[in-house]
Homo-oligomer: A and B are copies of this chain.
Amino acid sequence: MIDRLIESIKKTGAPIVVGLDPTLKLIPPQITEKYYKEMGKTPEAVAEAIVEYNKGLTDAICDVVPAVKPQIAMYEAFGIPGLIAFDRTVKYCKEKGLIVIGDVKRGDIGSTSEAYAQAHLGHVTIGDQRFAAFDEDFATVNPYLGSDGVKPFLKVCNEDKKGIFVLVKTSNPSSGEFQDREIDGIPLYRLVGEKVAEWGEEAMGENGYSRVGAVVGATYPEQGKVLRRVMPKSFILVPGYGAQGGKGADLVHFFNKDGLGAIINSSRGIIGAYQQERYASYGPEGYAAAARDAVLDMKEDIRSSL
């Protein structure tokens, strides 16, 4: 999958992943109203609205970006109907040829991480039949429990040719509270980065990159520079561009000299573009076209910065 990601980035020329993180504030009112009328103001109606919204976005961007990243929390908040919408979103995006990064940030003790890995990347076996549950292409993983919380994911990555992105230095303001603390002069995020590199050696793809990537926020370009060196064979998934304050110029050090090695996420900045002054002329009806336009602008911003 890491190899497919690389091919797809080369083909589109866009090291971009669009975060499909629907909230009621972002979904255009004509979509929610339609389902409210039909089904009442219920989680089921919201779930249908989310799927329609996501399909519109996916259709508009699927030829210009390699990947999408649905944030499962936004779906989980609406319970079972929300998770059905997540599942339908993953399947629809894959049908459209997009690579799907499940932003699930799971991580637990070994036997439990194995179940999460099965849920999101692999499969369960019932009798002699295999069933894949959510079947994303990549998942994000929390490293706080150490190697035996991560290794079950590696096993599934190797067996099912999937990948993970391990949280290393997150984009949020308080990420430094624990991640920046120094251990013998070395910040925790760097120790985690070193582990990412080590875990990656056990899960190499064909094109020189491993199946173990890392999450490093665009909001911390200096740390990105260090981590780029620490994990040369890991792709970096970079959130925090756009709505969280990261800019194109901040991104340069996240890439390797081959022009690869990073994929930049934007969520609200793309899927809610129609609400921004710059794309306001599209209006809510044109939310998908606005998103496409915002992707192309982001692509240009990144290109001109590199």
Q: Which residues of A come within 8 Å of B, CB atoms?
A: 21, 23-24, 36, 41-43, 45-46, 71, 73-74, 76-80, 82-84, 87, 105-110, 112-113, 115-116, 118-120, 124, 126-127, 129, 131, 133-134, 142-149, 167, 170-179, 181-184, 188, 191-192, 195, 239
Q: How distant is A275 from chain B, measured CB to nearest CB, in Å? A: 16
Which residues on B sit within 8 Å (CB–CB) of A112? 21, 71, 73-74
B179 engages A144 (CB within 8 Å): yes
Which of B41, B118, B131 makes the CB contact (< 8 A) with A42? Answer: B131
Which residues on B sit within 8 Å (CB–CB) of A45? 126
A119 engages B77 (CB within 8 Å): yes
Q: How distant is A86 from chain B, measured CB to nearest CB, in Å? A: 9
Minimal Cβ-Cβ distance residue in B for A133: B79
A43 engages B83 (CB within 8 Å): no
Q: How far is the CA of A305 from the CA of B124 in the complex (A)?
A: 40
Which residues on B sit within 8 Å (CB–CB) of A178? 143-144, 146, 188, 191-192
Q: How far is the CA of A183 from the CA of B176 in the complex (A)?
A: 13
This chain's copy number in the assembly:
2
Q: How far is the CA of A222 from the CA of B146 in the complex (A)?
A: 19
Which residues on B sit within 8 Å (CB–CB) of A76? 115-116, 119-120, 133-134
Cross-chain pairs A/B with CB under 8 angstroms, 12 sampled: A42-B126, A77-B119, A80-B87, A82-B119, A83-B83, A109-B170, A109-B171, A144-B144, A144-B167, A145-B170, A149-B172, A183-B188
Which of B42, B43, B144, B184 makes the CB contact (< 8 A) with A142? Answer: B144
Minimal Cβ-Cβ distance residue in B for A125: B24
